[in-house]
Amino acid sequence: MSVVLVINSGSSSIKYRLLEMDGEHTLAAGLIERIGASGSVLTHRGESRDSDQEQSIERDVPDHSEGFALMLEAFGRFGPSLESKPPVAVGHRVVHGGQRFFEPTLVTEAVKRDIEELGELAPLHNAANLQGIVAAENAFPDVPHVVVFDTAFHRTLPPEAYSYAIDATVAARHRIRRYGFHGTSHKYVSEAAAAFLGRPLEQLRQIVFHLGNGASACAVSGGRSVETSMGLTPLEGLVMGTRSGDLDPAIVFHLHRRLGAGFDELDELLNRRSGLLGLSGHADMRDVQSAADAGHAASALALQVYAHRIRSYLGAYLVHLGGLDVVCFTAGVGEHAARVRELAMAGLEHLGIVLDRERNALPGGGLRRISAEGSAVEVLVVPTDEEVEIARQTLGLVAPA
């Protein structure tokens, strides 16, 4: 039995999942929220009593170490027992690997120092990821710990895709280039799409749209990332829940001159008060759609801007790929917002993309085809599973086949 524990640690949360890799079956999963604040709560879905019911523990959790202690308590109370199903390894999500990490990597003291230092490029993410790694090592000291980087899948970007047209010396000195993110998701989804279609991955030209609160597009040629929308940071690219995505960089200078806005204030504006929230007043796509249906003009415009940006990237990536075989939608919005998919794919029949509106509108989940019969380009909804992908890469490193 090969059991892997996957950890996704945020600044105030720990998301975890215990997987039996023979069949990739979830043994338990949970989430600890509000770490470092009052009202902390753990929700756990395990094996005891009714496995379809979440169990919860409410207790203040001052830090990540206490969070892992609470997680271990949940396994003991709700199951499964980690003594009967001990993990052979712990896999960790880390957002930014810079130009140092392109493969799953065993945790060492040097690796932890590098992750901390790379936090300059992802201050909201890497520090929290590292907190989880340190706490998990204390909780599981006798098994290997492996980090899987969001940026790693994009290591295959060609220079013309990852280079920004600024002073090359400045760029090199300050590590300014396109790194791309959501790589674990893009890898999982593109491989799942090929398996669903029964076609060799290396023969497919795919565009994957990971549309969640954060959103990114990726052009995947033969299983390799060749273009992606996020850049030095996760701010660039598509419209997101609270992030602006692409904009004229001179807007920053303009706001500084007009309002005297400092860098922290501008960072707050573009990362936390823009995107769907900035356009409509709502960060959640479900709320945007409901408001648009109720006649809220700003929300209707937000939907159009959101879809327009998707279509712009689709057109560009189709050219870069030299043709297109598959379009995939994934993550919360991509998997569940049929209206967004319809707006993004409307009127593209001349490109061989024909959406079946009835298939697209059907409720339910799972991997499914939403393109029409005879569409030259397959359009799929592919639920992402970043935890399974992290577990696969973790096990592949510590126990290669």
Dump pLDDT digits (tens) for 246-257.
Answer: 999 999 999 999
Q: In what order do the strands lie in the sheet with 25-33?
A: 55-58, 41-45, 25-33, 13-20, 3-9, 89-94, 145-149, 105-106
Residue 284 dihedral angles phi and psi, to the nearest 5°: -90, 125
Residue 53 scores a pLDDT above 90: no
Tell me if 346 is assigned to some domain: yes
Per-residue confidence (pLDDT) for residue 347, from 0 to 100: 96
Q: What percent of the chain has pLDDT over 70?
A: 98
Show the tokens assigned to 70: 């609470």
Q: Mean pLDDT throughout 213-217?
A: 95
Tell me if 286 is assigned to some domain: yes
Residue 54 scores a pLDDT above 90: no
How many folded domains does the chain comprise?
Answer: 2
Residues linked to residue 90 through DSSP beta bridges, in sequence order:
5, 145
Tokens 């993410």 map to which residue?
Answer: 125
Per-residue confidence (pLDDT) for residue 247, from 0 to 100: 97
Q: Do 243 and 103 sit in the same domain of this protein? A: no
- Quote the domain boundaries for residue 9: 3-149
> Which one from 22, 50, 60, 150 is the annotated catalytic residue?
150
* 50 catalytic per annotation: no
Residue 311 to residue 341: CA distance in whole angstroms: 10
Please, which pLDDT band fits residue 47 given cuts at 50, 70 and 90?
low
Q: Do 130 and 215 sit in the same domain of this protein? A: no
Q: Do 144 and 203 sit in the same domain of this protein? A: no
Show the tokens assigned to 115: 């992750």
Residue 49 scores a pLDDT above 90: no
**pTM exceeds cut of 0.75:** yes
Q: Do 142 and 203 sit in the same domain of this protein? A: no
Q: Do 213 and 145 sit in the same domain of this protein? A: no
Beta carbons within 10 angstroms of residue 395's beta carbon:
21
Tokens 């996760």 map to which residue?
Answer: 234
Q: Report in angstroms the alpha-carbon separations of 140 from 87, 101, 334.
A: 9, 23, 36
Per-residue confidence (pLDDT) for residue 119, from 0 to 100: 87
Q: What percent of the chain has pLDDT over 90?
A: 89
Residues contacting residue 36 through CB under 8 Å, at least 6 positions apart: 12, 61, 62, 63
CB 17 within 8 A of CB 37: no
Please, which pLDDT band fits residue 125 given cuts at 50, 70 and 90?
confident
